[in-house]
Amino acid sequence: HYPLRRQRQMCIRDRDILQNIGFGFSIAFTWQNLICCFLGVLVGTLIGVLPGIGPSATMCLLLPSTYYLTPTSAIIMLAGVFYGAMYGGSTTSILVNIPGEAASVVTCLDGYQMARQGRAGPALGIAAFGSFIGGTLTVVGLMIAAPPLAKFALRFGPPEYFSLIFLSFSILTYLASGSILKAIMMAAAGAFLGSIGADFITGDLRFTYGSLTLFDGVGLIPVIMGLFGIAEVLENIEKKVEKREIINTKFRRLFPTLQDWRDSLASISRGTLIGFFLGILPGGGTIISSFASYGVEKRVSKHPELFGRGAIQGVAGPETANNAATSANFIPLMTLGIPANVVMAIILGALMIHGIRPGPMLIREQPELFWGVVTSMYIGNAMLLVLNLPLIGIWVHILSIPYRILFPLILLFCLIGVYSLNNNIWEIIIMIVFGVIGYLMRKFKYEAAPFIFALVLSPIMENAFRQSLLMSEGSFSIFFTHPISCALLITGFVLLSTQALPWFKRKPFVDEF
């Protein structure tokens, strides 16, 4: 066994991927990281099981606790919450016909029908095994793809980063589920919020109005906890509570038959590929992956009429795809510093809180973080497989917790979590204000994702833009004379144009609202 410093030096030289994997497991198997991984996947599964609470709000609640952890342990725990929630979301979809996670909406279509036919066990089993296979294989892809992509990203300067973020916003707008205009408005609002605070070049204060709290900008954590935690509670309070019919099943019936495996193996393989490639895209994520996988399975099936009536392929493909996407989301974050979705933006915020800026140099400067987190996903996926199957009975009982007990606890955790950051009462007020704003956004169908993306990425984009102009002495040609920057910029403009032109030909401007 090499000493840690010697292993770190060998990892930095990037001689052998097997040495890097061994180095990563030596980090992941420390008692602190194992506990953090277990707590992450356990909490994630619980959050996935409980309808109405997502990983975004949960990770915001856990962010204050990461101050007392090492950066590696903190990211291992937050990552476990993310992919653990994907596992747990399938349980409620199959047993209650209520998606615990937005990515599990598709699973309701066939999973619940299988449960009504007395096949809840195989549905839960194939969801768990498919999630394990998809998540594990995608971690392999992450280990293979991330180092060469990071080396390529070393060629990126300020012009390339500006163009890359512009392309990310273009793709995000392209993938917006609602109105394009509303998505652009939310991105603009987030960009404005990201400009508040001290100018990084001149030191001038912008839009602070003498407030000490705003000198460093609007805090990411209070904003996210308001938009996702408080808004979630406010939205669910007004919903009519319906009695839920829960279909129970026994542990011995959880294992799929040989015929189930024959029907599902191809779906699991396709779901892994779909989740991996869509998960890499900025704006792509678990929801898009699961819907795309379901569409592909129905199209390639010899019996598409069975879908929606209890086809096991309709459970295996989407559940594999959404778990594969969770691991793939880490590739653009770790190598380029660009979050693929809101959850990755929260993890980016956690890294920045610890003074770590993800990007091309992360693997070389923080190899213990990168390889420790990556190898912990193997361990976390194995833990989830062991946890999910035997604990189905416990999750079923947890589903019966009344919301009148659950939501006050969420509010309490939000208040304690935000105040513990800086012991600042004004950050609680910011959280409450954005909780009301988030509630109104949900009522009027404004998406939070473009807002959070812009809040996180707009300062980076502005810095890259101004640094580029300083390099070129004020000439905008620098964005087109650099080949990579030019290609990214043109691609972004093409995506915006193809999305905007049909909108202009469509209904009047006022109808968008």
pLDDT tens readout for residues 43-71: 888 877 776 566 777 777 777 777 788 88
Q: Enter the tokens of residue 266.
A: 């191809």
Q: Enter the tokens of residue 405.
A: 């007990």
List phi, psi (to 5°) of 205: -90, 135
Cα(221)–Cα(4) distance, rounded to whole angstroms? 33
Q: Which of 67-71, 91-95, 204-208, 247-251 has the lowest mean pLDDT?
A: 247-251
pLDDT value for 99: 64
Instruction: Kindly report the pTM of this predicted structure.
Output: 0.73
Q: Enter the tokens of residue 261.
A: 């495996």
Average pLDDT, the chain: 79
Q: Enter the tokens of residue 448.
A: 């939070």
pLDDT for residue 381 is more than 60: yes
Which is more confident, 274 or 60?
Answer: 274
In this structure, how many other beta carbons lie within 10 angstroms of the beta carbon of residue 328?
29
Burial of 242 (0-12, 13-18, 19+ CB in 10 A): exposed
List phi, psi (to 5°) of 282: -60, 130
pLDDT > 90: percent of the chain = 8
Mean pLDDT of 395-421: 72
Q: For tokens 């070389």, name the residue.
A: 364
**Residue 244 to residues 49, 86, 285, 400, 407, Cα–Cα distance (Å):** 14, 21, 29, 8, 18
Mean pLDDT of 398-421: 73
pLDDT value for 436: 92
Buried (b) or exposed (e) across 459-474, using 16+ Cβ within 10 A?
Answer: bbbbebbebbbeebee
- Judging by DSSP bridges, how do beta strands 197-198 and 205-206 pair with one another? antiparallel
pLDDT value for 442: 84
| Contacts of residue 129, Cβ cutoff 8 Å, sequence gap at least 6 | 256, 268, 385
Angle value at C-alpha 343, between 424 and 512, nearest 5 degrees: 95
Note the maximum CA span of the chain: 71
* CB contact at 8 A, 434 and 157: no
Task: Tell how many helices (H) and how many strands (E) occur in the chain.
Answer: 24, 2
Indicate the pLDDT class of residue 10, thresholds 50, 70 and 90: very low
pLDDT value for 391: 72
pLDDT value for 505: 53
Q: Enter the tokens of residue 204.
A: 């001038």
pLDDT for residue 510 is more than 50: no
